[in-house]
Structure 1
Amino acid sequence: MSLIQENWSLLLLFFTVALLYSSVGFGGGSSYLAIMALYGLEFKFLRATALLCNLTVVSNGSFQYYRKGFLDFKKALPLVALSVPLAYLGGKTPLSENTFFILLGFTLLIAAVLVWFQPYLINKVNFKNINSDNVILNLVIGAFIGYISGVVGIGGGIFLSPILYIINWDKPQKISAMASFFILVNSISGLVGQFQTPGFSMDWGFAFALMVAVAVGGQIGTHLGTVKFNQSMIRKATAVLIAYVSYTLLTKYL
């Protein structure tokens, strides 16, 4: 019996996560990883499967955001210039199963806090002295998140988006577009690094079925994210979801 036949409810869960995350420019890699972990699937192909699902969601999302004029490649370049090679190095970083899930749990906890308090930070912090076009700042942000995303296998958009809001980088839909594009290029880079890791293995039939589910969910979510839609509620729901995942992982592996 195939993995999908044994775990058919994964299709519905991945569809739902893709719809939710793509509406705010995320790929959903963090929750894909957590869901597969909670289902007890083999650690060796979790990161690659999550990144492939990320790619499926954000490739369409990035195209839709670009088509609607929200994606500015010139402004995006400093954020991805260092993130791509560092995501590759992160993907090649060897991790034990226990270390990986502890790291994932803590990174999700940080992400949940950032996503939940993002609207409050926007309203309370004085952004007048921060230059959103500062090339050095953008390079540092991209490099740090790129490496973390490569190691964990989550794309990095869930960290990038709140930080861009904090520094008043641009309008909400342009930040969602940037997060989607950031996930796209870093997921590709992280995957290449993982493919070159000794002992890498993959269940391609299992991955393809999940990619179909997230493709449908991502298409719907991206449409909702590019029209008038209550992104604040989606962000809070996303924060609650990843906080729960973080708690579950940390209590299991610590």
Structure 2
Amino acid sequence: MSEFLLPLIFFFIAFFYSSVGFGGGSSYLAILSLVIGEFYEIRTTALIFNLAVVTIGTAVYVRHKVFDFKQFWPFIVFSIPMAFLGAQLKLSEKTFFLILGSALLLSAFFMGLRVLKRKNENRSFSWIKRSGLGGSVGFLSGVAGIGGGIFLSPILNLSGWANPRTVASLASTFILFNSASGLAGLIVADSFHFDADFAIPLLISVIAGGSVGSYLSNSRLNIHVIRGLTAILVAYVGLRLILLHGFGMEI
């Protein structure tokens, strides 16, 4: 893959995902698996890119006063230790990508449903329900090597927990803490592998894409169009991972 094409791809991945409060970890994993041979280097690099993008997004949401810690803390506090534990699981490369692909297809399905369901609701979730959901998604995110917002956000949007921008703010913050916890889990498990010479140019690209996407997410950008495009991208990535690692088929 061209040395100029790869940073451009990562820029647009970061742009699309950050515009709806995500970090892009799932697509980073898929693309990195094509150019990096070492499994744990793929996971480490994707988590670092994820962390960089959502740090920017969270800062933007805080600045625009969308961030609501009183509502968010049960999701986050209980997800951190579960993401840490999930990241320490020793999975084969095939099992890892099949789990990730299946989870992404399910997430894309719920994202698609949310695009069709335009009506916004504001349902109250008890702190126990928020904690349970946060812990469950946190563990899955640790296993899958991503921040988990791509799983949490569609569930909350579909259930009508809050308006889309509040959910996007939570997703960004959720990914931030879970990515950091997941990286800590990789370090403790002696699975942290990072090639700075290869990754730094791509890191600059995702920071640039994440900055633009996070800014536009708080403007008049049509969030439904972006969410629909993101659902298509997520579905493609999930299907590709399952076909490639489960059946040896390329698409």
Map 1:50-199 to 2 at 5 A: 50-121=46-117, 123=119, 131-199=123-191
Q: Which runs of 5+ in 1 are unaligned?
A: none
Q: Is the 8 A contact 2:44 2:192 kept in 1?
A: no
After TM superposition, give the deviation of residue 166 of structure 1 in Å. Answer: 2.2
Q: Which runs of 5+ in 2 are unaligned?
A: 247-251
Deviations along 1:152-184, one digit per CA (max 9) or x if unpaired, are: 111001111111112322111111111100000
1:171–1:250 Cα change, 3 Å: same
Give the CA RMSD over aligned residues: 1.8
Is residue 2:30 matched to residue 1:42?
A: no
Residue identity matched to 2:186: Q
After TM superposition, give the deviation of residue 83 of structure 1 in Å. Answer: 0.2
Is residue 2:209 matched to residue 1:217?
A: yes
* TM-score, normalised with respect to structure 1: 0.91
What SS is found at the alignment partner of 1:187? helix
Counterpart of 1:33 in structure 2 is: 29
Residue identity matched to 1:87: A
Deviations along 1:176-223, one digit per CA (max 9) or x if unpaired, are: 111100000000000000112135422122222221110000000001
- Residues in 2 aligned to 1:53 and 1:198: alpha-carbon distance in whole angstroms: 19
Counterpart of 2:235 in structure 1 is: 243
What SS is found at the alignment partner of 1:53? helix
Q: Is the 8 A contact 1:132 1:167 kept in 2?
A: no
What SS is found at the alignment partner of 1:216? helix
Counterpart of 2:15 in structure 1 is: 19
1:199–1:64 Cα change, 3 Å: closer
When structure 1 is superposed on structure 2, of 40-49 and 104-113 the one drifting more is: 40-49
Same amino acid, percent of matched pairs: 43
Is residue 2:225 matched to residue 1:229?
A: no
Residue identity matched to 1:177: S
- Residues in 1 aligned to 2:149 and 2:15: alpha-carbon distance in whole angstroms: 15
- Residues in 1 aligned to 2:6 and 2:144: alpha-carbon distance in whole angstroms: 20
Q: Is the 8 A contact 1:105 1:246 kept in 2?
A: yes
Residue identity matched to 1:193: G
After TM superposition, give the deviation of residue 139 of structure 1 in Å. Answer: 0.6
What SS is found at the alignment partner of 1:94? coil
Residue identity matched to 1:81: V
Residue identity matched to 1:33: L
After TM superposition, give the deviation of residue 122 of structure 1 in Å. Answer: 5.8
- Residues in 2 aligned to 1:148 and 1:80: alpha-carbon distance in whole angstroms: 14
